[in-house]
């Protein structure tokens, strides 16, 4: 394969992964002898580590239910779930109810809610009889933070929303003394290169991007520091469950089920 010439420098030949669309415009990518990129290889390895075997999945689901029920004994709720109106979080809402749990649904309104997403949340939670706690961000403050991330040319401008969601979920769970049940699933969400998205847990990073490129102090923005994370994990020993990793989760089948049984509406990339 010929090298592409540009001035006196020779650029590497163009290479594209045989399995995905990634190519060597990413400076950290490597390819094996079969033409598969390092991201696909790492994903396959992590999939084996993160996704249990069928029998282990059943065992972990039973353990999760037992932990939640023990934590919720004598309380109105036994776990906290996040809801966005999308398919993953909606399916988790149905799943925890089907398992006999008493969840409190938490929603972060960052000012970008679509009408359809809000309708999905209202419809599903009403039919499942799940209580909802909504936290509305200060729009001017949050808008300033988002603009700060865009001005800073960071690799992931969704970090302000993601950090706030995690902070809110863990704070609410700590208030009620119950576990967090996430709608995260490794199978479809663990393929992003680290260089494209990092810093979600780093409050210092978020705070300093805002200080350098933003215009407002973050007075009402939900957040957590390293010390608060240590408090959640080591002092409270707050349980976190990624329930979708413990079932044979198929996003398209989940959509079909929710549409048919609960009137959920697909709004595209949900």
Tell how many helices (H) and how many strands (E) occur in the chain: 10, 7
Residue 264 sits at the vertex; the CA angle it makes with 259 and 269, to the nearest 5 degrees, is 95
Tens-digit pLDDT string for the chain (270 aa): 334 344 444 455 688 999 888 898 888 899 999 999 999 998 888 888 888 888 899 999 999 999 999 999 999 999 999 999 999 999 999 999 999 999 999 999 999 999 999 999 999 999 999 999 999 999 999 999 999 999 999 888 899 999 999 999 999 999 999 999 998 887 777 777 777 878 889 999 999 999 999 989 999 999 999 999 999 999 999 999 999 999 999 999 999 999 999 999 997 754
Sign of torsion over alpha carbons 130, 86, 46, 171: negative
pLDDT at position 12, please?
59
pLDDT at position 269, please?
58
Alpha helix stretches (DSSP H) within 72-202: 87-98, 115-128, 139-151, 159-176, 186-189
Q: Report the C-alpha gap between 245 and 182 in whole angstroms.
A: 10
Sign of torsion over alpha carbons 226, 231, 237, 239: negative
Q: Is 45 helix (H, G, I), strand (E, B) or coil?
A: helix
Query: What pTM does this model have?
Result: 0.88
pLDDT at position 7, please?
40
Q: Is 160 exposed, middle or buried (0-12, 13-18, 19+ CB in 10 A)?
A: buried
Residue 132, number of CB atoms within 10 A of its CB: 14
Domains of the chain: which residue ranges?
A: 67-262
Q: For residues 68-101, b (16+ Cβ closer than 10 Å) or e, as one string?
A: bbebbeeeebbbbbbbbbbbbbbbbbbbbbebeb
Q: Is 38 exposed, middle or buried (0-12, 13-18, 19+ CB in 10 A)?
A: middle
What is the C-alpha end-to-end distance of the chain, expressed in Å?
41
Residue 238, number of CB atoms within 10 A of its CB: 19
Residue 21, number of CB atoms within 10 A of its CB: 7
CATH class of 67-262: alpha beta
Asked if 190 and 46 touch (Cβ cutoff 8 Å), the reply is yes
Residue 148, number of CB atoms within 10 A of its CB: 23
């Amino acid at each position: 394969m010929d090298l592409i010439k540009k001035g006196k420098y020779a650029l590497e030949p163009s290479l594209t992964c045989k399995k995905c669309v990634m190519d060597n415009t990413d400076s950290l990518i490597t390819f094996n002898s079969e033409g598969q990129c390092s991201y696909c290889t790492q994903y396959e390895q992590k999939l084996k580590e993160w996704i249990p075997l069928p029998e282990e999945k059943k065992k972990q689901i039973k353990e999760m239910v037992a932990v939640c029920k023990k934590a919720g004994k004598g309380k109105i709720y036994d776990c906290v779930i996040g809801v966005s109106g999308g398919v993953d979080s909606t399916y988790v809402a149905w799943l925890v109810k089907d398992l006999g749990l008493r969840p409190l649904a938490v929603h972060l309104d960052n000012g970008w809610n679509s009408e359809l997403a809000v309708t999905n949340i209202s419809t599903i939670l009403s039919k499942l009889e799940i209580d909802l706690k909504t936290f509305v961000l200060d729009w001017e403050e949050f808008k300033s933070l988002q603009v700060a991330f865009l001005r800073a040319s960071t690799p992931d401008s969704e970090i302000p929303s993601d950090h706030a969601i995690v902070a809110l979920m863990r704070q609410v769970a700590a208030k009620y003394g119950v576990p967090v049940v996430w709608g995260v699933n490794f199978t479809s969400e663990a393929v992003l290169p680290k260089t494209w998205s990092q810093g979600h847990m780093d409050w210092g990073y978020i705070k300093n991007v805002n200080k350098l490129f933003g215009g407002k102090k973050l007075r009402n923005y939900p957040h957590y520091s390293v010390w608060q994370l240590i408090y959640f994990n080591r002092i409270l020993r707050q349980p976190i469950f990624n329930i979708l990793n413990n079932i044979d989760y198929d996003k398209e089948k989940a959509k079909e089920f929710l549409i048919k049984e609960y009137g959920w509406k697909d709004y595209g990339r949900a």
